Amino acid sequence: MDTRDWPIRAKLTALVVTPVAALLALWIFATTLTFGPALDLLSARTLLYDLGRPGERVVAELQRERRASVVQLSTPGTLPGLAEQRTRTDAAVAELRRRIGGDQLRDAADGRLDARLDALVAALDALPAGRGFIDRRQVDRVGAIGLYTGIVSSAFQAFSAMATLPDPDLNREALALTALGRARELLGQTDALLAGALTIGRFAEGEHLRLVQTIGNERFVAESAVADLPAPDRSAYQRLIEGDDFVRLRGMQEALLRANPSARPPVDARVWQTSHDAVQQRLREFELGEADGLADRSVPVAVGILVRLGVAGVLGLVAIVVSILVAVRVGRTLARRLTGVRTAVLEMAEHRLPDVVARLRRGEQVDVAREAPPLEYGGDEIGEVGRAFNEVRRTAVRAAVDEVTLRRGLNEVFLNLARRSQGLVHRQLALLDRMERRTEDPDELAELFRVDHLATRLRRHAEDLVILAGAAPGRGWRHPVAVLDVVRGAVSEVEAYDRVDIGTVQPAGVLGRAVADVIHLLAELIENATAFSPPETRVEVTGEQVPKGYAVEITDHGLGMSSQAVEDANRRLARPPEFDPADSARLGLFVVARLAARHGVRVTLCAEAPGGVTAVVLVPANLVTAEPPVAPPAAERSAAPVARLATLPRPRTARTRERPDQTVLPFAPARTSSVEAATDGDGLPRRVRRRGAPARPRPPAPADAPAVRSPEEVRRQMSALQAGTARGRRDGAAIHPVSPGHPDGTTVPAGGRPEGRDGGSEPSPPADPVPTPDPLTATERDA
């Protein structure tokens, strides 16, 4: 039986119940052993009056019937008094049978006495058959004597079984009285043998020898029995046998012992009969008196045993009750103390320590002494365990404080680096905007647009660091923005934007305070869709109004996710976990969850058949407004920067893709120069290639140069340009080490004049403060 997993209360209960049950069983056993003898003593009177007296009467009547039967067998006729004697014997036997069949005697008798009683009843059942043999003279005198002697012996065996008293003195006296009865029975056998011999005037063959043996046995048994009697009883018996009848009977026995076996017995029949009957009567009265005295003396002994039993039983019961009370009290104390330790441990592990960590992460100050107060559990082993747990608890709280402090420091480092990167990216975007305004060459302008796209992605990754640090990005809008423009803005921040198809997007707007985070959220989901799907597949984005807000669906046809992975991802999206640096593979999922939790946006992933995943973004109704009007064209915006054309429509097509004759610039600033700004019917500016002004002729292009560059060729050229720029920076850093005083990364040559990031002699523009986030249009930025 394995008890290691038992509750502490069950173990303590087992420890208490086992010894108490053993003590209780021992008490019951001892009480039973003591109570049994007391009951035996109390039942002695029952045995005497229900078996002793009726049985003694049956023995006396059988002795008389035996003598009469021997006399009848010694004469040729019928003895007149035999029938009357048989009637008295039958009456005594009937009374004995009634007592033996009663419940009172059987309840008081043990197993041994029950067996002896059954044997006595069986012997009495054989009496009628023996009488028939005698009446038909089918037995001689010795056989008749043996028939009655067997029945009388069964009765004395039952009397011997009564002598099982627990008190040794009483039991010895009871056995002595039974032996005196056997001696009296032997005297009766002598009388029967002598009665037959006196009737015919001589001893039959072997009768004299049997007579001598019976007289010797009677004297031996009587002397042995008297020796076991108490001194007063021995004195009384001695006075009894000194009487005239006993002396006369003893003299006649002596004469019989010396008589000639073939001659007539040398005693007078009348004198023998008178002396024998007198001795038998006095011996019977002596036995009955001693038996009554024995029964009377057994009652006080039984009462004394019961009194001692009661005292011992009460004391034992008190000891058991005290043991139970002490065991229960100690067990409950141990259980309560151990339960207190367990409760304190669970409270610390499940409530207080997580609460302390949560408060520390919220920036609250935590007092270790107050959060981990010492708990007193006494001075024993449980108290030592409690004190050890106090130390463990204080160490755990201090470790939590140190961990949260370290995490907070790391977040500050991340936030500091992210803010620096974010500021540099904004400066880079501002620089690219100025360069785009000054550039007249369409090819160079296209390259600048691609660099602008890379910078936009860099800005999103910098914002990821800000989000990981627990802060909010700096971008924001004051006015609502159309959902279609938000989707296009998100697509513009994805590397494989040319694989994204914008489907049907129902008209609606997003409040300005949530525009940046929704764009970032959609961009993360769209980039995941393009990253985990084959390059030849398309990613579809649609949007529609729903009762609870606005739903944007992003569907890819890629590798897909298992049901368990989808369930795990949805659980993370619903309840954003703490950022774990070891789980960097799910960084985008963590960013999406943080952004969604900030505005109550609900993001759900669904597996598509046969492959792919659909991400459903539900923007709550409190962030959704009516779609704002389209901003005026660039030419009009330059004259009236804040003007809006409320009547200008925002057409939607089933799919928006880049055309080879124009470059899409979502959220790019509009500019009037040698490159026209065209709305293309959707309200967003697009760069259209055209020749520059005649005053500044461009060198002719080679004859084999393609008229239009493909996106792949432009991407390869930009990669080569980026690699060359990085190599130049490394070479420049080896020649001109970076000065420690320039956080923006400019280098200082030997002459002391700072150079630009590309190693040129033109200094970089001064560090501007972090600008307002890039708006959807130039007019929105100015607003």
List the helix and strand counts (H, then E) for the chain: 23, 11
pLDDT top residue among 128 and 665: 128
pLDDT at 179 over 80: yes
Q: Which helix (H) or strand (E) holds 586?
A: none
Give the pLDDT confidence score for residue 701 in this predicted structure: 44
Tell me how far apart the alpha carbons of residues 233 and 231 are, in angstroms, rounded to a whole number.
5
E strands within 242-374?
Answer: none
Token pair listed for 206: 């072997």
Q: Which helix (H) or strand (E) holds 115?
A: helix 111-125
Range 142-159 average pLDDT:
90
Reported as a single tens digit per residue, the pLDDT across 640-664 is 333 232 333 455 544 444 433 333 3
Three-state helix/strand/coil letters over 356-425: HHHHHHCCCCCCHHHHCCCCCCCCCHHHHHHHHHHHHHHHHHHHHHHHHHHHHHHHHHHHHHHHHHHHHH
How close are the terminal C-alpha atoms of the chain, in Å? 80
pTM of the model as a whole: 0.45
On the question of a cis peptide bond just before residue 610, with omega within 30 degrees of 0, the verdict is yes
Q: Which helix (H) or strand (E) holds 701?
A: none
Token pair listed for 192: 């029967």
Tell me how far apart the alpha carbons of residues 203 and 256 are, in angstroms, rounded to a whole number.
11
Reported as a single tens digit per residue, the pLDDT across 450-467 is 888 788 777 777 777 777
Reported as a single tens digit per residue, the pLDDT across 244-280 is 989 999 999 999 988 888 888 888 889 999 999 999 9
Reported as a single tens digit per residue, the pLDDT across 88-138 is 999 999 999 998 888 888 877 778 888 988 999 999 999 999 999 998 889
> 312 vs 35, 42, 299, 305, 642, CA distance in Å?
11, 19, 20, 10, 110
Give the pLDDT confidence score for residue 767 in this predicted structure: 34
pLDDT top residue among 645 and 478: 478
Return the SS3 of 686: strand
E strands within 178-287?
Answer: none
Report residue 251: phi and psi, to 5°. -65, -40
Q: 704: exposed, middle or buried (C-beta count within 10 Å: 0-12, 13-18, 19+)?
A: exposed
Token pair listed for 64: 């008389």
Give the pLDDT confidence score for residue 383 in this predicted structure: 79
Q: What is the mean pLDDT of the chain?
A: 76
Contact 390, 374 (CB under 8 A): yes
pLDDT at 48 over 70: yes
Contact 524, 592 (CB under 8 A): yes
pLDDT at 633 over 70: no
Confidence tier at 617 by pLDDT (50, 70, 90):
very high
Strand-pair partners of 686: 664, 678
Give the pLDDT confidence score for residue 34 in this predicted structure: 67
pLDDT at 552 over 90: yes
pLDDT at 697 over 60: no
Token pair listed for 300: 């006080």
Range 713-737 average pLDDT:
61
Range 233-237 average pLDDT:
89
Q: 115: exposed, middle or buried (C-beta count within 10 Å: 0-12, 13-18, 19+)?
A: middle
Highest mean pLDDT among 9-18, 134-143, 419-428: 134-143
* Residue whose tokens read 């390059």: 535
Token pair listed for 457: 């992605």
The torsion of the CA quartet 156, 158, 163, 166, rounded to 10 degrees, works out to 170
Tell me how far apart the alpha carbons of residues 233 and 239 are, in angstroms, rounded to a whole number.
10
Range 710-731 average pLDDT:
64
Edge-first strand order for the sheet with 613-620 is 500-505, 539-546, 549-555, 613-620, 602-607
DSSP secondary structure string, 503-548? EEE-S-EE-HHHHHHHHHHHHHHHHHHHHTS-TTS-EEEEEEEETT
